[in-house]
Amino acid sequence: MRIGSIFCTECKNIHTDVHKAFSAIRGHFREDTFITAEDSCEADLWLLICGCTNPCIEHGHLKGKFGKLFVMSESDIPKAIHMIELLKEDREAIDFN
């Protein structure tokens, strides 16, 4: 799976270490390809890692077969991992390739 990631680092409301959150998710999916918006605007799924409850990331230009998944706190990390696992299972059953 090709997973895109974009981070919010601009605002003053960040309560979660966005890079730590990303590393935890990326570490769980080592076999997948992770890209940034600088690499491409298209991915299977986009992780929008905000670090606060006011997601201000500009993401309208990003396209994903499975959409976008917001990570706004450390408690969202296991939820995001679970959702990605479910999407990967569906992807294998449907065979998008």
CB-based contacts of 36: which residues, under 8 Å, 6+ apart? 4, 5, 6
So what's the pLDDT on residue 67? 93
pLDDT tens digits, one per residue of 14-26: 667 788 889 999 9
Helix, strand, coil abundance in the chain, percent, nearest 5: 30, 25, 45
Q: Which of the four pLDDT bands, split at 50, 70 and 90, describes residue 12?
A: low
pLDDT tens digits, one per residue of 26-75: 999 999 999 998 898 899 999 998 877 777 788 889 999 999 999 988 88
So what's the pLDDT on residue 47? 94
Query: Taking the domains of the chain in order of start, what are their residue ranges?
Result: 2-94
